[in-house]
Amino acid sequence: MGFFDKINEISKQISEVEKNIYHGKEEFLEIYERNLQLEQEIEERTKELNIANKRMLSLQNILDMMNSAKPLRSVLETVVNSIQGELGYLHSTIMRKEKDDDGFFLSVIAEADDITIRRADNILKTPIQARRLAYSENEIFYNALEKREIIQSKDVGASLKAIMPELDKSVLDEILSDKSTRSIITIPLYAFKKPFGIFAVFSSREELAKSEKDFLTMYAQQIELAITIADLFERVKEQAVTDGLTGLYNRRYFEEYLKKEVTRALRINQPFSIIGLDLDFLKKINDTYGHQFGDLAIKTIADVLKSNARSIDTAARMGGEEFNVILPGVSSNGAMIAAERIRKAIEAVEIDTIGHITASIGVATFLEHSDNIEDVMELTDQAMYMSKHNGRNQVTLAKPMDETSWQELAVSAFLDILNKRKIPLSDDFKSDLSEKLMSSAPQSEVLYSVADLLTQTYNPMHIQGNVKLKVLTAVSLAKRFDLSKSDIDNLKIALLLYDIGNLLVPQDIFKKKSPLTEDEKNQIKEHPLIAAKEILTPISYIQDVIPIVEYHHENWDGTGYPAKLSKENIPMTSQIVLIVDAFFALLEDRAYREKLTPQEAVEVIKKDAGTKWNETLVDEFVALIENEIE
């Protein structure tokens, strides 16, 4: 091969190499470009995935809030802050469609806490959340809600002007001067198939992508579900603390709130007052017109309380026709003025068919009448009962506990037992006794009569009038032992109530002619404890009476019941109750024996001197009775 042939051969080889290098370069460039494209796609997909994850987190936040049973406002505030923080929107807010006398309007019920709103509120002076926002036809917010579709507006100024038409242009320009907000996205919210309001998102983007719109649609649906659940929770919570008939708070809420008010009052040494109110003649209204009109009268009372209460006052229906109102920071003078205003307002209302109704009202003040809230509540009841006793349709200010007569305490105790304690008597009978207690007749005579009637329910052989004789005899005996006035007053009340526990003992035991079984004897022996623990203990203002009742079957020699006390360990007042009760029981017929004469009864008492009774007590008692016999 010649020289030039070799040159040509080398040239061909070089060309082949160059050709291969060129093709390799093309393939390399193609691979490089593909890698760039893949990296870009991966970056875009990563961004989309991040956005999707953030959206899922936002949706999860709503779900978590729905499961937390928090109040609606708290739920929505978390919602707006969540979408603001996770998805980079400049600001978001939820506005509720509301109505007043001037028509429909929007009010902000939740807004994200961010620099955008803080800047706007600083410029506006009056925060947007405190404003009554306009709801005008054919504006972006109106159209979004009424047409139920997501609407985006790039004219942010016009959108703000639509809800705040009173804004000057200069103020609006200052709010928008940072140029960061490029559009407002309005998403309609519905709850219970009715328009609820607007979810507004302030975005830095002018365009609304389909994926973003789909997400906001889904997000709005979750908000609607959160609103529905939170609203249902509020309704259930409200039902748990409100009275179904009147819409006022119920007894349960009142008692819980009262504890808090006592704590507050003691902390700052500030009194508060309680108004107790009782609808007059409810039974008569029910009997004459029917229970539906009785309910109407009760609801009328509730409406009057709502319209006359301050925002910080708490009115509650305690049950039946009874209501209480707590007046924080109000002295007895102020409470009397408020109570009289309520009384007049009730009397002024005219109800169809019934006509006018009235109420009896009592007032007591914590830290004025007592620093024991149970005493204050009882004093309120006593004052209310005094209003009824004195003719109804009036307001009575409670007396301090140490100024209250024994008759007033006894009347209140009987009314408490009849109306609040579970005793086996018919509603009509309890109502009749309550009416008797609240009549204008002399209180002592009414008390004796009511005690006689109650005794006859478990002892048909009880003689009407014996309760009065027992009280008078016991008082005369107590004076022979120089008992104090307070001890004698407690003794009088004890003589009215000592056998009240028999109401809860099976009545056939008292009527049995044959000897009682051990079990039946034990049931009878329990009646002092039943009276003391179950019936009287909840009544705070007669606590000094309870030991008298509890120990009135203790014997001098320790053979009595329930505590086997003996001698001086037995209260003198309890010993007096026992001997007086035994004497008058002997004067009445029983299923197993005939009644005794007073002289015969005295002889029976004498036989147990030193065992059942204190000998000195027997001597004084016999002398007293023999003097009466003569």
Structure tokens at 540: 């705070």
Looking at residue 492, its amino acid is: K
CATH of the structural domain 72-240, one choice from 3.30.450.40, 3.30.70.1290, 3.40.50.620, 3.65.10.10: 3.30.450.40
Structure tokens at 511: 């009527």
Say what the pLDDT of residue 234 is.
66
- Report pTM: 0.52
Considering the chain, what is the average pLDDT of its residues?
84
Cα angle for residues 240, 293, 285 (degrees, 5° grid): 115
Average pLDDT over every residue of 288-297:
94
Average pLDDT over every residue of 446-461:
89
Please write the tens of the pLDDT for every residue from 184-197: 999 999 988 889 99
pLDDT > 90: percent of the chain: 42
Question: In the chain, where are the structural domains located?
Answer: 72-240, 248-403, 405-630
Of 30-34, 258-262, 412-416, 524-528, least confident by mean pLDDT is 30-34
Q: Between these two residues, 414 and 311, which has the higher pLDDT value?
A: 414
**For 421-443, what is the HEC assignment?**
CCCCCCHHHHHHHHHHHCCCCCH
pLDDT > 70: percent of the chain: 84
Q: Between these two residues, 374 and 16, which has the higher pLDDT value?
A: 374
Please write the tens of the pLDDT for every residue from 118-172: 888 889 888 888 889 999 888 999 999 999 999 999 999 999 999 999 999 999 8
Average pLDDT over every residue of 76-85:
75
Whether domain 248-403 has CATH 3.30.70.270: yes
Cα angle for residues 575, 405, 261 (degrees, 5° grid): 110
Say what the pLDDT of residue 179 is.
81
Cα angle for residues 29, 31, 36 (degrees, 5° grid): 95
Say what the pLDDT of residue 590 is.
76
Contact 95, 200 (CB under 8 A): yes
Q: Please state, in angstroms and rounded to a whole number, the distance separating the CA atoms of residues 195 and 420.
A: 46
CATH of the structural domain 405-630, one choice from 3.40.50.150, 1.10.3210.10, 2.60.40.1120, 3.50.70.10: 1.10.3210.10
Say what the pLDDT of residue 41 is.
66
- Is residue 51's pLDDT more than 70? no
Split at pLDDT 50, 70, 90, the class of 59 is: very low
Asked whether this chain's domains 72-240 and 405-630 adopt the same fold, the reply is: no
Looking at residue 47, its amino acid is: K
Average pLDDT over every residue of 518-532:
72
- Is residue 65's pLDDT more than 60? no
Q: Please state, in angstroms and rounded to a whole number, the distance separating the CA atoms of residues 619 and 107.
A: 85
Say what the pLDDT of residue 66 is.
47
Give the SS3 label for residue 223.
helix
Average pLDDT over every residue of 596-603:
92
